[in-house]
Amino acid sequence: MMLLRRQLLHLATGAITAFAVPNATHAQGYPARSVRLVVGTPPGTSPDTIARLFGQWLSEQLGQPFVIENRPGAGMNVATDAVVRAPADGYTLLLSSLSNAINATLYPKLNFNFLHDIEPVAFVGDNAFLMAITPSLPVKTVPEFIAYAKANPGKINMASGGNGSAPHMFGELFKLMAGVDLVHVPYRSSFYPDLFAGRVQVAFIAVAGSLALIKAGKIRALAVTTAKRSDVLPDLPTIGEFVPGYQASAWLGIGAPKDTPAPVIATLNEQINSIVSKPDVKGRLAGLGIEPRPMTPAELGKFCADETDKWAKVTRSAGIKPD
């Protein structure tokens, strides 16, 4: 009888241990040292600014430094490759973005597979863009723009920051869905002077930083690219209100190397979702054009797969090649 009781006690203890395993890493105090958050853009850019804010917030919540490491180059590919090759221990993270979804098709010979080699951790938020035109163009709404473009095929120049950039891809998606012929003009420097002067007539630009230009009359905003209206421009319609199904966002997320322990990912996801749910954080991010949207790792994984498929179709349809 005593032997049976010991066996049952042993089994019960084993069951408790088994249920405790998923939280083992968190119980051991992750993070126990500083964490690198790798960013694929230079210091001072919008993604860098947002990464530094999250680094600060995560440091405050988890008690260890989250250090920003800038690894610009090849449209996020240098940074992503660095994270893919890092140890899968939770101490190297990637500020992932729309560029990762686009690059999967834009660059045919990458050394990694974004969907396979980067574990989804948490969603940071959507970065809203708007469709802006030069004030001299004789249209004031998206339907008027479409009508004007169809009446003047190949005569409207669309500026962007280069092949495969967010402004380019958002414009190509609009061309495809609205059935208009716009001439893509890629720039290596700022296209804003030419947009103000009317040498190019339309561009898709980030909402953040555009408010002063709209107020000064340097550009005319027709609509936002996101699925719902922007909180900072509530009277501006979405493109989707006139072109059903249109939606585009320069989103940001957090990723980790493949095989990073599930408890680490769970801890980070919980903490990041907690951060973006705070009213003061929402307000700070809104000022940077970011609308947070908490997701589970599984939801983010599906989102990234859907985005990769979506932009692959646009890339192939438009025949886009990297600069």
At 88-137, the pLDDT tens digits run 999 999 999 999 999 999 998 999 999 999 999 999 999 999 999 999 99
Is the model's pLDDT at 11 over the cut of 90?
A: no
Report how far apart the first and last C-alpha atoms of the chain are (Å, whole number). 77
Q: Which residue, 98, 215, 68, 112, is CA-closest to 161?
A: 98
Q: Which residue, 229, 244, 226, is CA-closest to 143?
A: 244
Is the model's pLDDT at 22 over the cut of 70?
A: no
Q: How many Cα atoms occupy the beta-carbon half-sphere of 290 within 13 Å? A: 25
Is pTM beyond 0.85 here?
yes
Task: Give the pLDDT mean for 309-316.
Answer: 98
pLDDT of residue 323: 83
At 154-195, the pLDDT tens digits run 999 999 999 999 999 999 999 999 999 999 999 999 999 999
Is the model's pLDDT at 16 over the cut of 60?
A: no
32-126+249-318 against 129-241: fold identical: yes
Task: Residue 256: count other Cβ atoms within 10 Å of its Cβ.
Answer: 27
Task: Give the pLDDT mean for 290-301.
Answer: 96
Dist CA 23 CA 15 (whole Å) = 14
At 52-83, the pLDDT tens digits run 999 999 999 999 999 999 999 999 999 999 99
Centroid of chain to Cα 112: 19
Is the model's pLDDT at 215 over the cut of 80?
A: yes
Pick the CATH number of 129-241 from 3.40.50.300, 3.40.190.10, 3.30.70.2190, 3.40.190.120: 3.40.190.10
CATH superfamily of 32-126+249-318: Bordetella uptake gene, domain 1 (3.40.190.150)
Annotated domain spans of the chain: 32-126+249-318, 129-241
